[in-house]
Every structure is written in structure tokens, then in C-alpha cells.
Amino acid sequence: MADRTMRLEKYIATSGIASRRAVKKSILAGLVTVNGEPVLVPGHPINVETDAVEFEGKRVKPLMERIYLMLNKPAGYLTTRSDERGRPTVMNLVADLPESIYPVGRLDLETEGLLIFTNDGDFAYRLLHPSHEIAKTYLTWVKGVPDDSAVQRLRQGVTIPSGRTAPAKVERLKVSRDGASTQFEVVIHEGKKRQVRFMFKAVGHSVIRLKRVAVGTLRLGNLPQGQYRLLTPQEITTLMEL
């Protein structure tokens, strides 16, 4: 007979409500119940056929259809499911899709480019977990022309508000004709808040424009800004194996 038990946070994550990381936080905060009783410890085993699970007051039901897509996010959209001040969010750009999907990770308000969405909690957890060190590639335009010493510091790691950054790949692509700005390709494996912007600020150059063009092997390509497309089965499998 098949095993009907599953860890609580995995069950909720695979329902498409939230990522496993977010689920753990809600469990610790007492916002998850099993058969009406709060469960405060992640890893609690449940019977997926007989136990009644509620997440933040909503009944959790197993999800049948998995959705995976990427969006070319324009500047000016918050990476959040909703905003109490009514500002535009990335969810406005995927409004024709099921409400169960959510963005994997974040791009700040003015950052453009590749943003992955899913309702598969295990997939999201794998992409976000620091142990997997999945590369994120950005095109970055900065004020002025950072010298070779500044670029080398970025490659070796600099101190930003959230701590010291790990070594990064930083390649100068081109300098504007008037010398007012420089374009770089930057590859990082971390997800510190506003990391690329703070990295260049640490060496004296502010970011003018920032665009994520790849996550692992998945590249933005020529997807129009503000549009999305579903990931192919091969793209999904490859990301899961990173």
C-alpha cells in the first residue's frame, strides 16, 4: 500500500499556496492548523487523505495542474502578490492565469527582466535555496567608467548593507561614446537584497538600469517586455537539476 504521509510544509507547498520557505515561516508563526489544532513545528507528518489542513485560515487542497512560466518584467512593478497602497504588481501582468501562481524570488521595483512564476512549491524552493547557488545573470548600466581596480573588487567581493558578497563574474561590455555610462554583464549566485545595485555603489558608481537576462540555463531571449511564456518541459527539468 502506498505511503499516504507527507511533511506538512511539503504538502502545503505542493498545493500551490506558497513556497516551502514561506510555509515554514507561517508554521512557526502559528498560522497553520491540522484538524483544527495549530502545528508549530515544521516537519510534522500528516495523512494526505484524511487530515484537514488550513494555511492562514484557508483550507489546503491538493493541486492537480503545475504551472511554470517566465515573465519579462518591466520597471515600475512590485514583485509581490498584492500591495496595500494599490501600486502595480507583477500579478497584474499574469492576471489571466490561475491565482495560485506566485513569483519565485524578487526583482526590485525598477529592475527589469526575467522573473519566474510557478505554483509548484518544491520547484520554487529548489530555485531559491542558497545551497544550490544558481547563477543569475544581469545586464547592468552604471554611471561613469569604473576602473580596473573597481571591477576587480566587484569580482572578489565587496561589503554591502546585508554583508560581504561572494565572488562574482563581472565583464565590461561597452562604454558610452560620451563616457557617461558603462554597460556590464554581472553573474552572481546569491540573492541579497538589491545586491547588484549595492555592489556598484560600494565602488562609487550608481546603477542607471538593471535587467536580469538569465537564471541558471534559462535565458530571457527575445520575450517582449511585459509578456510571459510557459516554460518547456526540458527547461523545467534542467532548472530542477541545477
Question: What is the tens place of the pLDDT at every residue in 52-102?
Answer: 999 999 898 776 678 999 999 999 999 998 888 989 999 999 998 877 789
DSSP bridge pairs for 154: none
**pLDDT, tens digit, for every residue of 119-168?**
888 899 889 887 778 999 999 999 999 999 999 999 999 999 999 999 99
Q: Got the DSSP string for 5-48? A: EEEHHHHHHTTTSS-HHHHHHHHHTT-EEETTEE--STT-EEET
| The pairing of beta strand 112-118 with beta strand 68-73 | antiparallel
Q: Which of the residues are catalytic?
A: 108
C-alpha cell, 241: 537539476
Rounded to whole angstroms, how far apart are CA atoms 111 and 74? 7
Residue in the structure block whose three cell numbers are 509581490: 80
C-alpha cell, 184: 556590464
